[in-house]
Amino acid sequence: MGIKSFFEKMQRFLEEKQHFCLVQLEDLEKEMEKRQEKSLTKLREELFQVGLLITEMEEKCLQPASEFLEDIHNSMVR
């Protein structure tokens, strides 16, 4: 085997290795994007629930004290 043949084989090997690594990198990137989207969706849902709770608490603050305290107790039990 000549030196030229050796380097050609080495070049093909490195190109295959590069291709393999790029495919793995793309797969990793897609997985990270999926996880990020899932996390963002969960965060949006939680923020929506917090917004509802804030609105509910603001409405309760307008109630007479006795009703307010009863509602607060019931909310805390949930």
Dihedral over Cα of 44, 45, 48, 50: its sign: negative
Q: What is the pLDDT, as a whole number, of residue 26?
A: 98
Work out the pLDDT band at 78, boundaries 50, 70, 90: low
Q: Mean pLDDT over residues 10-38, rounded?
A: 97
pLDDT tens for residues 41-64? 999 999 999 999 899 888 878 877
> pTM, whole model, 2 decimals?
0.59
Q: What is the pLDDT, as a whole number, of residue 38?
A: 97
3-state secondary structure the chain: CCHHHHHHHHHHHHHHHHHHHHHHHHHHHHHHHHHHHHHHHHHHHHHHHHHHHHHHHHHHHCCCHHHHHHHHHHHHHC
